[in-house]
Chain A
Amino acid sequence: ELKVEQNPLFLSMQEEKNYTIYCNYSTTSDRLYWYRQDPGKSLESLFVLLSNGAVKQEGRLMASLDTKARLSTLHITAAVHDLSATYFCAVDTLIIQGAQKLVFGQGTRLTINP
């Protein structure tokens, strides 16, 4: 059974600092996603990572994937208050009997203080 674990679950940081959120998963998968969720809202897609060594960047966020280590990271550079949100990673199960579903990590609640 695929399990996805994020670390840390809570992160309070100051503006202009850098930090990394980690996402570990337990079994082989061919794609990993990062999402952002603001309070009371649904999920916003940030990144889709397909292959080993994949790196994607958007603004102050950069995501990478190491399929051998079953690890993805979401790196925040020079944080700003607008990035305060909950961040989820999710991993696709392999297709079994035509079915494929996402397994989510617990989420990391990020608070950025002025």
Chain B
Amino acid sequence: GAVVSQHPSRVICKSGTSVKIECRSLDFQATTMFWYRQFPKKSLMLMATSNEGSKATYEQGVEKDKFLINHASLTLSTLTVTSAHPEDSSFYICSARQWGTYNEQFFGPGTRLTVL
């Protein structure tokens, strides 16, 4: 299957700082990428759909000023958690959809964010 990378895999930061997470599709072009958040022992919660060259579509209840998404190229989307607080600590997972027979989403390895 197609490969999606995320960087960094783990980040620890102080409260009030901003953190940027990168999501790249390595061997295919992705016009659409997705950002999920996962709390311990819970399912994945879709935060937003990232569309190349246009604004992201945020799910209800997700603060767009808090979670900035940029999808500047067909292989890169970034999520910036602005002024992070301890309640933003979570596992963030991106995915990229490869359009074709299966229209399958391929998931990145995830980023563990810990805000002190």
Contacts and interface: CB of A to CB of B under 8 A. Distances in A.
Interface of A: 31, 33, 35, 40-43, 45, 48, 50, 88, 92, 99-102, 104-107, 109
Q: Which of B43, B108, B110 has the most chain A CB atoms inside 10 A of its CB? A: B43
Interface in B89-110: 93, 95, 97, 101-110
B44 A48 contact: no
B49 interface: yes
Given A99-B57, A106-B43, A43 B93 contact: yes
Contact of A45 (B49, B93, B104): B104
Contact of B34 (A31, A33, A101, A109): A101
Contacts of B107: 35, 42-43, 45
Contact of B46 (A33, A88, A101): A101
A45 B46 contact: no
Interface in B71-116: 93, 95, 97, 101-110, 112
Nearest to B57: A99
Contacts of B95: 102
B1 interface: yes
The 4 tightest CB contacts between A and B, nearest first, are A42-B110, A43-B107, A48-B102, A104-B43
Contacts of B43: 88, 104-107
Contacts of B112: 40
A14 to B, nearest CB: 23
A12 B64 CA distance: 40
A102 B93 CA distance: 13
Given A31-B102, A45-B107, A101-B34, 10 more contacts: A33-B105, A41-B110, A42-B108, A88-B43, A92-B103, A99-B49, A99-B57, A101-B46, A106-B42, A107-B43
